[in-house]
Structures are given as C-alpha cells and as structure tokens.
C-alpha cells in the first residue's frame, strides 16, 4: 500500500465517514479503536446514516456523532410540501459539518455521497481510496488516496490498512460496541422470561439478511433441520434472532421444527442485538451485518457463504469462526437474481451442525447423545 504525497500529520480533529451499511460500519470499528489508541487527545467524529447509528451512539472512542438522515431527506425531497424544509435541514447539516473545522477527513466509504460530504467539510486533508477502489467518481473529492496492493483481504484488514499512513499498524485494544446498562437489562429480562438458557450451549441462529441481499440466504428448511440436529445431538438451546420484515420467516422455520426453540424478542436497537449475541455460546448464519456484530462481541461464528466473497467478508479475525462454502466456478458473484443459488443450496445441515460442534468444543462443555 502507498499513499500519494505522503502525509506527515498529527491530527487534532478527525472526521470518519462510513455512512452504511450495518456490517460495513461494524468493520470500521477496529480502525476507530486504533485511531483513539494512537491519538488519545484528538477530537474524533463520525458521519453515519440512520440505519447504523445505534452502533455508535455513546461510543467512548467518539467525541461526536453526526447523523446524515438520508431516508428522511429522500422522502422530503420527493414531497412538494416538505421539499424546502428538507433543503433547510440539509444546509443545517452541512453548516454544522463545516463549523467543526476538521483538519483530517477519512472517507472509508468511497462513493459519491461520502466524497461530497468529505469535500464540503472544508478539511484541507481529505483521504479516500484510490480510483480503482471507489465508485461514482468518489476519488475526485478527496485530495489524498490510499492504494492497495491487493483487494484479497477482509474489510476489517482493509480498513486498518487505510490508516497506516498515520503510523498505525494494528489494533492494540479490542474494538467496542457501546452496549448500555439499559440494553443489558432489556435482554436479561427476555432471557429470564424465556428461561434461557434451558441447556448449554446456547446458540443464536440468524437466518435473515437485508432485503436487498436476500440472495445470500440459506434455505429455511435447512435452518430448521440443523436446529433440530443441534438440539438432539448436544442438547442445545436455540434462539432465533430477526430484523425488520423477518419475523414471519423465523416463525415459519420454528413451525417446521420437531424440537422446541425460542424466537428472540424484538430488539429496539443494534446494541441490544449485540448484547443478545454476547450472551450466546455460538452464532450461526450467513453473510450479514448481524454476523459481523456477533463476531465483534466475541461470540464464535459459523458463517455460510455463497455468492459473496468469503475473504473480503470474513468475520473479525480475532474471534473464533468457521467458514462454510462451496468452491463453484461462478462463486463469488453479484448476481442478485440467480434462480438456482446452488452455492448456498449445496451446503448441507450436516456440515453446519458439525462445524457448530467443532467450535463449541472450544467454548463450552456439553452432553452428546
């Protein structure tokens, strides 16, 4: 990796731009931890969109969180009655951004929107990815660029490489998801109400993905089968987690099971989901934001990869995990309308069950039948 026009800089006010998605914000948290460890006295702010702000609110490594209300602004700009108020709200956001007078901007996102925010911040030092690693002309808005020698690395590692020009070569302290006492009480109440865990180990299974990436999902019948197998073989307790629009899917999975399992409560924010995962002995699911959250709170992860790249999207490297995938000529790909999704269907419940048991042997004691 090299940075064009090397930057000898000791930043006083740093702005991070990583707007979304949930998994990508999670994968930027180790870089935030490294920045705070290296510059304990610096003022660090972060621009994020609404869907991932829960992960950053009250974060001890941040001095300020700036929320770019994309969904609200988009609705407003499409409405005649709200158009002018939305324009005013956007201008207020940009004025507040410039008022901070950041001397260094780190644009981890690499799209047009993040590039415009970086440029309009007024910072004299705006660092982004090189042309080959950005979209929508983002590189035009930043005046220093990080070039990578290879793209074959996880996003966790890539984000840490992005800040190496500041003399940062790794993470000395583990990254943080700021789970509050209130979040812990909320999940504790759910666990007590449901009598969890009924048995050890306690396994969280998250079958969903975002609606835009439903092509990454495993078959619901296979999830039901593997849950039954884990209950019958190792007397596990299973809790099904879910997000927006996924409850009906989880209910169908539970109806298709032979054994009893538990559907998780509705989590009011992503920190509560993190706390639920933290209390579990294992996470099972596909490539998703919740999978990355589980890996960051030190819950061992069994992750099923199909169309997405298992290297780029690997779980946090400092956490135990096993990756399951089939090496097909067409995988990885970005074919969202694939009719067969053979790369996911070829993963069997037996393989997932065996991977779960392998990881659990290192985590908890359990009884086999």
Number of domains the chain is built from: 2
Each residue's pLDDT tens digit, 12-25:
999 999 999 999 99
Each residue's pLDDT tens digit, 212-238:
888 899 999 999 999 999 999 999 999
pLDDT of residue 305: 96
Q: Does 285 reside within a domain? A: yes
- Comparing 2 with 174, the larger pLDDT belongs to 174
Each residue's pLDDT tens digit, 162-215:
999 898 988 888 999 999 999 999 999 999 999 998 778 999 999 999 878 888
pLDDT of residue 212: 81
Each residue's pLDDT tens digit, 87-105:
888 999 999 999 999 999 9
Q: Nearest to residue 14, comparing CAs of 48, 57, 63, 55?
A: 63
Burial class (CB in 10 A: 0-12, 13-18, 19+), 269: middle
DSSP code for 57: T
| 4 pLDDT above the threshold of 70 | no
- Same domain, yes or no, for 112 and 227? no
| 5 pLDDT above the threshold of 70 | no
Is residue 66 within 8 Å of 96, Cβ to Cβ? yes
Last residue of a domain, one of 166, 196, 219: 166
Q: Does 172 reside within a domain? A: no
pLDDT of residue 1: 43
- Same domain, yes or no, for 185 and 317? yes
Q: Give the pLDDT mean for 47-53.
A: 96
The pLDDT-based confidence of 368 (bands split at 50, 70, 90) is very low
Six token digits for residue 51: 């869907």
| 287 pLDDT above the threshold of 70 | yes
- Same domain, yes or no, for 155 and 202? no
Last residue of a domain, one of 122, 140, 166: 166
pLDDT of residue 369: 44
pLDDT of residue 341: 85
Which spans in the chain are helix H? 22-26, 29-38, 70-77, 83-99, 112-120, 155-162, 181-194, 220-234, 247-255, 270-278, 289-296, 342-345, 349-361
- Same domain, yes or no, for 332 and 258? yes
- Same domain, yes or no, for 152 and 10? yes
Six token digits for residue 207: 């079958």
DSSP of 229-292: HHHHHH--EEEE---TT-HHHHHHHHHT-SS--EEPPPPSSHHHHHHHHHTSSEEEEESSHHHH
The parent domain of residue 349 ranges over 181-361
The pLDDT-based confidence of 364 (bands split at 50, 70, 90) is low
Each residue's pLDDT tens digit, 318-348:
999 999 999 888 888 877 778 778 999 999 9
CB-based burial, 321-347: b 16+ in 10 Å, e otherwise: bbbbbeeeeebbeeeeebeebebbeeb
pTM, two decimal places: 0.93
The pLDDT-based confidence of 136 (bands split at 50, 70, 90) is very high
- Same domain, yes or no, for 244 and 114? no
Q: Does 368 reside within a domain? A: no
Q: Does 173 reside within a domain? A: no
- Same domain, yes or no, for 260 and 141? no
Is residue 253 within 8 Å of 228, Cβ to Cβ? no
- Same domain, yes or no, for 200 and 162? no
Is residue 259 within 8 Å of 288, Cβ to Cβ? no
- Same domain, yes or no, for 189 and 114? no
CATH number of the domain residue 254 falls in:
3.40.50.2000
| 9 pLDDT above the threshold of 70 | no
pLDDT of residue 329: 86
- What rounded mean pLDDT belongs to the chain? 91
SS3 content of the chain, % helix, strand, coil (to 5): 40, 15, 45
- Same domain, yes or no, for 160 and 188? no
C-alpha 13/C-alpha 56 separation (Å) is 18
Six token digits for residue 59: 């974060």
Each residue's pLDDT tens digit, 241-268:
999 999 999 999 999 999 999 999 999 9
C-alpha 158/C-alpha 222 separation (Å) is 33
- Same domain, yes or no, for 39 and 135? yes
Six token digits for residue 264: 């998780």
Q: Does 174 reside within a domain? A: no
- Same domain, yes or no, for 241 and 111? no
Last residue of a domain, one of 139, 166, 193: 166
């Amino acid at each position: 990796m090299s940075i064009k026009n090397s930057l000898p800089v000791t930043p006083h006010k740093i702005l991070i731009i990583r707007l979304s998605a949930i998994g990508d914000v999670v994968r930027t948290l180790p870089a935030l931890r490294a920045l705070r460890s290296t510059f304990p006295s610096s003022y660090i702010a972060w621009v994020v969109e609404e869907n991932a702000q829960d992960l950053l609110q009250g974060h001890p490594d941040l001095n300020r969180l700036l929320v770019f209300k994309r969904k609200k602004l988009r609705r407003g700009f499409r409405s005649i009655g709200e158009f002018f108020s939305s324009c005013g709200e956007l201008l207020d956001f940009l004025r507040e951004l410039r008022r901070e007078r950041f001397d260094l901007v780190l644009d981890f996102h690499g799209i047009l929107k993040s590039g415009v925010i970086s440029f309009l911040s007024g910072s004299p030092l705006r660092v982004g990815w090189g042309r080959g690693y950005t979209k929508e002309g983002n590189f035009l808005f930043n005046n220093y660029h990080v070039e990578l020698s290879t793209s074959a690395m996880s996003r966790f590692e890539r984000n840490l490489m992005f800040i190496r020009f500041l003399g940062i070569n790794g993470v000395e302290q583990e990254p943080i998801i700021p789970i509050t006492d209130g979040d812990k009480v909320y999940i504790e109440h759910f666990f007590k109400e449901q009598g969890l865990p009924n048995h050890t180990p306690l396994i969280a299974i998250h079958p969903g993905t975002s609606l835009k990436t439903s092509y990454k999902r495993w078959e619901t019948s296979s999830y039901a089968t593997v849950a039954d197998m884990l209950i019958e073989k190792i007397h596990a307790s299973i809790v099904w987690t879910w997000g927006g629009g996924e409850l009906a899917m989880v209910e169908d999975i539970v109806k298709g099971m032979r054994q009893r399992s538990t559907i998780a409560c509705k989590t009011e924010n992503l920190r509560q989901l993190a706390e639920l995962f933290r209390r579990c002995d294992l996470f099972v699911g596909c490539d998703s934001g919740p999978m990355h959250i589980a890996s960051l709170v030190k819950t061992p992860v069994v992750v099923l990869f199909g169309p997405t790249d298992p290297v780029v999207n690997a779980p946090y490297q400092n956490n135990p995990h096993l990756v399951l995938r089939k090496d097909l000529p067409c995988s990885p790909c970005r074919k969202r309308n694939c009719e067969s999704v053979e790369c996911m269907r070829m993963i069997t419940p037996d393989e997932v069950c065996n991977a779960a048991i392998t990881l659990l042997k290192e985590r908890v004691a359990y009884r086999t039948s």
